[in-house]
Each structure stands twice: as C-alpha cells, then as structure tokens.
Amino acid sequence: MNDILIARSLFGTTMAFHIIFATIGVGLPMMILTAELLYQKTKDLEYVVMAKRWTKAFAVLLGVGIPTGTIAGTQLSLLWPGFMEVIGRVMPLPFQIEIYAFFIEALFMSIYVYAAERIAPWMRIASLILVALGALASAVLITNVHAFQGTPRGFRYENGQYLDIDPWAAFFNPSFLVTATHVAVSAYVVGAFVVASVSAFKMLKNDFGSRLYRFHQKALMISLVVGGLAAFGTAINGHEAAQYLHEYQPEKLAAAEGLFETQSHAPLAIGGFTDRETQTVKWGIEIPWALSFLAGNSFDTVVVGLNDFPEELWPPLFIHTLFNAMVGIGSLLILIAIFGLLWKKFFKKDRFPKWFLWTMVASGPLAVAAIEFGWIFACTGRQPWVIYRILSTAESATTATNLGVLFILFLGVYIILGIAVVFVLLYYFRKNTVLDDLQRAERKNVQLFSSNS
Amino acid sequence: MTDALIAITVLWGFVFIYAVMATMDFGAGFWSMIYFNRQKTRATDIANRYLSPTWEVTNTFIVALVVAVYSLFPTAAYTLGTILLVPGSMILLLLALRSAFLVFSNIATEYKKPLTYISGIAGILIPGLLISVLPITHGGFVEYGEGLTQLNLARLFTSENVYAFIGFAISSTLFLSSLLLADYSKVSDEMDAYYVYLRDAKISGPISLLMAFCIMLTLEREANWIYTRMMDDLPLLLISLGFFLISGLGLFVTNFFDKRIQGMPRLSVIAVTIQYFIASYVYGKAHLPYIIYPDVTIESAFTDPNSFRAVFITYIVGFAILFPGFIYFWSLFMHDKKYLRQKG
Ligand code: HDD
Ligand code: HEM
Ligand code: HEM
C-alpha cells in the first residue's frame, strides 16, 4: 500500500469507529429526554429507571466517543495538513463553535450524572436538554465541514491562492442545511433503534406479561414512535440530499446510481453492482424514468452520466452499492415502525409475533450500518477531491512516510476499546438489573443516578 | 497589539489553562492509582471525586487548543501537523486508553484495580509527551529536505534538553496535583488524605524545581537563542522563584486560621499558579515571534484577517455564554459541601 492509501485507511477507520459512538451519543440523549419528560407527565417510575439506565450506557459510550473524537480532530491536522491549512484559513467557524457545543455537553453531562440527586427536577431536565442540544450541535457543525467539502463557498481560488475570504459565506454553504438535517435525524434513527434492539431482545428472553416484559415493551414503544418519525424524516430529507447532488456534484449522483450516459427520462437502478467494462448495473432492478423524476421532480430532467467526465475524476463505482444499502435499510426501518405501531395501537394486539421481535433485534445494528454506509458513500464518493474541484486528496496528504506502523497501532487500540466497551456494558447491566433499579427508585432517599453497584 | 499578537496571546492563554487543568487531571488519575490499596486514608476517593466530573471538561480544552492552532495560524498548523505525526499519534493513543479506562474503572467496579492502573500509567506519560512539543518548536530537531519537512526522532530522543522537559512535566504534574488535592481534601474535611497529599507535595515540589534548573542548563547548550532571550528577563524569573518559595512555605507553616493544622494549601496553590504564570510568560515572550524556530513566525503563519475577526467574535460570544455554565459547574463540584463531604 502506498502512503496515501494508508493515510486514507487510517482516517477512514478512525471515523468509522468514532461515528458509532458519536451517532449514538446524539441519538441517546433524545431518548433519555423523552423518558424524563414522560416521567414528569405520568409520574411512572419506570421511565426514570429507563432514563437512568440509558444515561449509564451513554456515559460509558462517551468514554470512547470523546477520545476517538479527539483523535479524529487531531488526525485531521496530522494526516491532512494541506486540507486543514485551507480549512483554518477559510472555514474555521464550525470547528470553533463546535468547541462551545462540546463544553456545554461536557459540563451539563457531568451535572446531570454526578449532581442528579442534588439539583431540582426542572434543573435536571434543563441539564438534559442542554446535553441533547450540545450533542446535536456538535454533529451539525462537524457535518458543516463535510458539507463545505462538497459545496465550497466563501472564497476565490486563483493560482493556488485563496482570496476574498468570507468565513460566514463558507459557513452557510449551499448544502449545509440539507446535510446537517440528514445527519441529525439519522442520528435519532440510530438512537431509537439501538434501544429498540435491546428491548426486543429482552422481551424475547422474559416471560410474556412479567414485570420485565412490560418494562421493555414500554421502552420499545417509545423507540418505535421516535425512530419511526425520525426514519420518515430521514427519507424525505435524503431525497432532498440526492437532489442537491444532482445540482452540485453530478458525478457523485451518477456513480451512486450507476448511470453512464447523460439522458432525460433516466431509469433508476435498484440493487446490483456497477460494472465498469459493460457500463451497466448488473443484477439490478431498473425502474424506467424514476431517476429523472427523483432528481428534478419531472421525467424530463436531464441527469448527467459518468461518461461526461474524464475517467480519472470518477468516484469509485462501488458507492452505488453503499447508497442502495443505506436507502434500503432506511425504507425497512420505516416499514418496521409502521408495522409495530399499527399492530399495537390500531389492531390492539397484546403481543408481537416472534419474527417481528427478531427483526427489531436486527434493527439497531442495521441502523448503525446505514450510518457507516452513508458516510463511506459520502466521503469516498467525493474522491479524488478533498475539497470538491479545489483541492485533491493527494495534495492535502501528509508527506510523512511509514504510516503503516501507526495504522496498526491505532487499529489495535480501537479493537481493545471496542471489546472493552462491550464487556463493560454487559458487566454493568448484568450487575444492575432493571429490578434493582426499580427498587432503588421506589425507595425514597436512595441515590439512583449515582449508584454504581 | 497587532492581530497576530492578540492571536498568539489567546493561544498562550489556552495553553496555560490547559496546562493547569491537565496536570490536575492526569495527576489525580495517578494518585488514585498509587493510593488504591490504602482505602483507609480515602486519598483515592478524593482524587476520584475530583476526577469523575471534570475529565471531560479538561479534555475539551485540548481540542480547543488544536482547533485554535489551525484556525489562528493555519500555516504553522501545516508544519506542526507534518512534524508532530509520530509524537502526536503517541499522545492520542495514550489519551484514548487513558480516558476510556478511566470511565470503565468507575463502572466495572469489580475490575477497578487493573483499569485504574492502565489509566493511571497512561495518564502520567501523557504530560511528558505533550511537553516535548515545546523543544520540538525550538527547531533543533526539524529537518528540511526537498519540499519535505521531517522530525529527526533519533536526535529528539537522545537530547538531554528533551528529557529535562519530560522530567519537569511529570514532576510538576505530581506537584501541582498533590497541592490541589491537598486543598481539596482539606475543604472536604478528609484530614488523613490531606496529610498524605501534603507530604507528596513536599517531595515533588523540590524535584520539579530541580528539573526546571535542568531545563535551563540544557537549553543553554541546545537552543541558545531562547535561553539568552529568557535570561533577558532574569528579574521576572527571580520573582517567579520567589513565588515558588512562598508556595513551599505554605506547606510547612502552621495554619493561620486553625493552629492545630499544619500547612496553608490554598496559599500554596495560589502562589504556585502565579509562579507558573510568570515563568511561562517569560518563556512565551522569549519564544516570539517564532512558532517554529526559525522558519515559522506568528506573522508568516497568521490566518486571513476576515477569518480572524470572525473567530475572535465567536470566542467572545462563546465564552460569554459558557461562563455561567462554568460557574455553576464549579459551585456544584468544587464548592458544595454536600458533594465534597459525602461519605459514599
Ligand atoms: C440511519 C442512517 C441513514 C438512513 C436510514 C439514510 N441515510 Fe442517507 N446518509 C446518512 C445516514 C442515513 C449519513 C451517514 O448520515 C450521511 C453520510 C453523509 C451525510 O451527510 O449523511 C448520508 C448521506 C446521504 C447522501 C449523500 C450526501 C452527500 O454525499 O453529501 C444522500 C443523497 C442520502 N444520504 C440519501 C438518503 C436517502 C434517499 C435515504 C432514504 C431512506 C437515506 N439517505 C437514508
Ligand atoms: C463520521 C463518519 C465518517 C466516516 C465513516 C468517514 C469515512 C471516511 C473514509 C472511509 C475516508 C477515506 C475516503 C477514501 O479515501 O476513499 C474519509 C476521508 C475523509 N473524510 Fe470522511 N468520514 C466521516 C466523516 C467525515 C466528516 C464529518 C468530515 C469533515 C470534517 C470528513 C472529512 C474527511 C476528510 C478530510 C477525508 C480525507 C480526504 C479524503 O479522502 O477525501 N469525514 N472519510
Ligand atoms: C458526523 C459525524 C460526527 C458526529 C455525529 C459527531 C458527534 C460527536 C459527539 C456527540 C461527540 C461527544 C461530544 C462530547 O460529549 O463532548 C463527539 C466528540 C468529538 N468529536 Fe465527533 N462527531 C462526528 C465526526 C467528527 C469528526 C469528523 C471529527 C474531527 C474533525 C470529530 C471530532 C470530535 C472531537 C474532537 C470530539 C471530542 C470532544 C471533546 O473532547 O469533548 N467528530 N463527536
């Protein structure tokens, strides 16, 4: 492997690892907040217990999310110094403002966890809202840098010089809102379905009608509502994101859809693999005219194909598969949520079929996979550019060599952390059962949130 | 002041705040490991009581620091990013292990001991590596080839000056943290722990002073330019030494307010903070205008003026918004007797 490829793999691995914890770190506070609010409304202690248990999980996940994020932020400068030099000059605001979001999240997270029993209930809710807002803001702001990479604005680039710099114009670049919304709502999808996964699994393991069964069913219903709404929002907004690609990064959309010839009434290829030799999507299902309609809301829309670009500027063609996997999972999650809610609320059935609970168990990992596919699609699909049509990845990479050893070391640490975090979560929740927590909550004057054993 | 000078002052402020907070943070982790088996004195509990709510906030400062470098001095960030790849990666790896295992040790109580050891040891190495960035910016270990800038690692790790810096970082981490924990124990009414930390401060204080002298001695040979410039401010350095002695005095005298107690830790903490402030001011002033000697100066590396203005405004607005949050945080964890004196 050459050094650039190692640098890309190293950074991609860091991001792929960080994103799991970061996304859950945005999604889970929303679930905790929902549970806290439901408690204030119903005074049902089971909701407090949910909030407490999710908070513990959140605190453990932050233990990995924060250091890996710190790695990501610093590695940007270490591996892509050319890129960060430009970002520092033109687009420093998101990173700068993100620091304040981190501070808010860190301060109020500690207050919510370590001072929960000493502060007034309204202050607890306020702290939690600030944690959720802080996490959301971190995600939105970091995504803005990514948006800028696709639709750079706020400067004039001439003879290698960056002139007439306007950092606010860079900040409000065209795809900011669409992309940030997509990342935010998709994080809520992940938070909700991760909870749903665990709840469904516990429902399968406990007797129908037992106290534990009912507790987990309650949690499952919250996540179906939150997750269903968010998944629906993700799809609507994802459609808009694709239209932005049509307008601003046509070769990415062409590669995502496996379209080679520029045409109106372009067909939509679902599934399959793009074949460079025959310029077709193999084993895919083709829906005539659909792509034109999706891209521009009319069948006459001309969609640009890959052959309009020199081949060395093509993004890798496998992003078609990644894109389809993300959209496929998104559609499946919407169906799951609709089915679950209809079954319970409309048909008033009292228990879910087993196959449905097993599908729910899969939904959390699938949602995380969708996030991974989406990001790899978005970052890899931008290649060979790190800033679209301005700065190439190769130009921005570090000149240092022998990155292989570092790659192995970082990979090793991620593996250790990944195993340890799963182990710690399992250990903790096995030692502190739901019943323990319910008892603690029912007895007054016992510390629930700061209890550890 | 020129914009570049304002910018470097802001950066220097971040470095100073982070240095103080990080020594507390990494030191507390180390002490909680050392006194792990001595539950009677509760020295470990005290360290953890400080550490649990604060490590995240401290960590955010390091991110703020990195972001400040590339948004204020992007050209310097380019060179620093290139030459710091190896030491920077080592810091990141240790930091990841340290933070994660610190959190895990508070959750998986049965495995607390091995987890505390991993995070304690990783944590105490980090200040040593972090400070090695300073001698690297003195320029002696940086090589310029055809379009390539590289760090000569062999020369770096055989330099006496670098080891003096590393020794200083570790000993003053122990010194500052034991001082602060002594103060924290006293406020918490844990007198056993108080005397343990007071003793630790008496040991680590003189060692860190010795290390500071070693830095100056080796600096004269290895980076003479900064040594002579620091010596221009000899009076300030002597004043800083004076504050060090005051802080030492604070460890030994009988408490002014309560004759039964030995030591006035609050006085020592304040004096030593002033001492570090003055000393790092002298160092920072001597370092100017170079960010990396002799090629990168604050003027040549400075960002675009429009960007600077925008960033500066976010600093002001951001800190105005955050300030009440910090105060509230402080009052809950540093000031609330109910939290400090809990028996759990
Ligand atoms: C739960 C996760 C999830 C789900 C279900 C979806 N997405 Fe997504 N998608 C992401 C998570 C995600 C992401 C990981 O958050 C990305 C990566 C970069 C970004 O901005 O968001 C993304 C990127 C992304 C992009 C690329 C933006 C760019 O390259 O700048 C498009 C066009 C879509 N998505 C479209 C969709 C559509 C039409 C969906 C239909 C259901 C969909 N996504 C579901
Ligand atoms: C969070 C989830 C993310 C994942 C999983 C991810 C994944 C990746 C991968 C796999 C690469 C290598 C691409 C290739 O070489 O083919 C990459 C590159 C890169 N990504 Fe992302 N990325 C993520 C988010 C971001 C964000 C939010 C930013 C903006 C700050 C970003 C900026 C970059 C940069 C600068 C590169 C290096 C240059 C390049 O290869 O284009 N990434 N990312
Ligand atoms: C879109 C993908 C991303 C999301 C949703 C996300 C979100 C988060 C969240 C929620 C946290 C925890 C914050 C806290 O509690 O303090 C975090 C930490 C962090 N993230 Fe990410 N992040 C993403 C990508 C990135 C990238 C690309 C970088 C690098 C530039 C990055 C840098 C960081 C840093 C430095 C931290 C640690 C902050 C601290 O020390 O408090 N993140 N991220």
Average pLDDT for runs of 10 along chain A of length 453: 87 96 95 92 89 91 93 92 91 93 89 81 88 94 95 88 88 95 97 96 89 92 95 95 92 88 86 81 82 85 87 89 94 95 86 92 96 95 90 86 90 95 92 83 67 43
Model confidence at B326, pLDDT cuts 50, 70, 90, reads confident
Q: Measure the CA–CA gap between A439 and A45, rounded to whole angstroms.
A: 10
Phi, psi for residue A242 in degrees, rounded to 5:
-65, -35
Beta bridge partners of A391: A387
Q: What is the pLDDT of residue B2?
A: 84
Q: How far is ligand 2, taken at its centre, from the CA of residue A241, in Å?
A: 18
Closest by CA to B218, choosing from B169, B163, B289, is: B163
Closest by CA to B280, choosing from B17, B3, B68, B76, is: B17
With contacts defined as CB-CB under 8 Å, which chain A residues touch B22?
none
Q: Is the peptide bond between B294 and the residue preceding it cis, with omega within 30 degrees of 0?
A: yes
Q: Establish whether residue A170 lines the binding site of ligand 1, counting it when its CB lies within 6 angstroms of any ligand atom.
A: no
Residues of the domain holding B172: 3-340
Closest residue of chain A to B152, computed from CA coordinates: A400
Query: B40 with A94: CB under 8 angstroms?
Result: no
Q: Which helix (H) or strand (E) holds A133?
A: helix A121-150
Those residues whose C-beta lies under 8 Å from the C-beta of residue B334, and which sit 6 or more positions away, are: B184
Contacts 24+ apart (CB under 8 A), A251-254: A251/A304, A251/A306, A251/A309, A251/A313, A251/A314, A251/A315, A252/A150, A252/A315, A252/A319, A252/A381, A252/A382, A253/A295, A253/A303, A253/A304, A254/A303, A254/A304, A254/A305, A254/A306, A254/A309
Q: What is the pLDDT of residue B54?
A: 81
With contacts defined as CB-CB under 8 Å, which chain A residues touch B307?
88-90, 92, 165, 167
Q: Measure the CA–CA gap between B205 and B245, rounded to whole angstroms.
A: 10
Size of interface A-B (CB pairs under 8 A): 226
Beta bridge partners of A270: A285
Amino acid at A370: A
Secondary structure of A329-353 as H, E, C letters: HHHHHHHHHHHHHHHHHHCCCCCCC
Please say if the pLDDT value at position B344 is more than 80: no
Write out pLDDT tens, residues B185-235. 888 888 888 888 999 999 999 999 999 999 999 988 888 899 999 999 999
In chain B, how many domains are there?
Answer: 1
Those residues whose C-beta lies under 8 Å from the C-beta of residue B287, and which sit 6 or more positions away, are: B137, B226
* Threshold 0.80, pTM exceeds: yes
Q: Establish whether residue A26 lines the binding site of ligand 3, counting it when its CB lies within 6 angstroms of any ligand atom.
A: yes
Q: How far is ligand 1, taken at its centre, from the CA of residue B32, in Å?
A: 45
Write out pLDDT tens, residues B68-100. 999 999 988 888 888 899 999 999 999 999 999
B31 to each of A66, A356, A363, B200, how far by Cα in Å?
23, 51, 44, 10
The arithmetic mean of pLDDT across residues B156-174, rounded, is: 92
Q: Measure the CA–CA gap between A317 and A314, rounded to whole angstroms.
A: 8
Contact B322 A103 (CB under 8 A): yes
Write out pLDDT tens, residues B240-276. 999 999 998 888 877 777 777 788 888 999 999 999 9
List A residues 381-440 in contact with B (Cβ-Cβ < 8 A): 398-400, 403, 406, 409-410, 413, 416-417, 420-421, 423-424, 427-428
Contact B102 A85 (CB under 8 A): no
A163 to each of A103, A105, A185, A350, B320, how far by Cα in Å?
33, 36, 35, 65, 32
Q: What is the pLDDT of residue A452?
A: 44
Q: What is the pLDDT of residue A449?
A: 67
Closest by CA to B240, choosing from B192, B266, B208, B201, is: B208
Q: Measure the CA–CA gap between B308 and A356, rounded to whole angstroms.
A: 55
Those residues whose C-beta lies under 8 Å from the C-beta of residue A353, and which sit 6 or more positions away, are: none
Mean pLDDT of chain A: 90
Beta bridge partners of A161: A158
Q: Measure the CA–CA gap between A190 and A369, rounded to whole angstroms.
A: 9
Higher pLDDT, A324 or B344: A324
Query: B31 with B121: CB under 8 angstroms?
Result: no
Query: A61 with A28: CB under 8 angstroms?
Result: yes
Mean pLDDT of chain B: 88
Q: How far is ligand 3, taken at its centre, from the CA of residue A8, in Å?
A: 19
User: Residue A79 region, left (φ>0) first, then alpha (ψ -120 to 50), else beta?
Assistant: alpha
Q: What is the pLDDT of residue A453?
A: 35
Q: How far is B249 from chain A (nearest CA, A)?
A: 35
Q: Which of A26, A60, A100, A102 to mutate to test the pocket of ligand 3 (most atoms within 8 A of CB)?
A: A102
Residue bearing the CA closest to ligand 1, atom 25: A241
Q: What is the ipTM of this complex?
A: 0.88
Contact B339 A162 (CB under 8 A): no
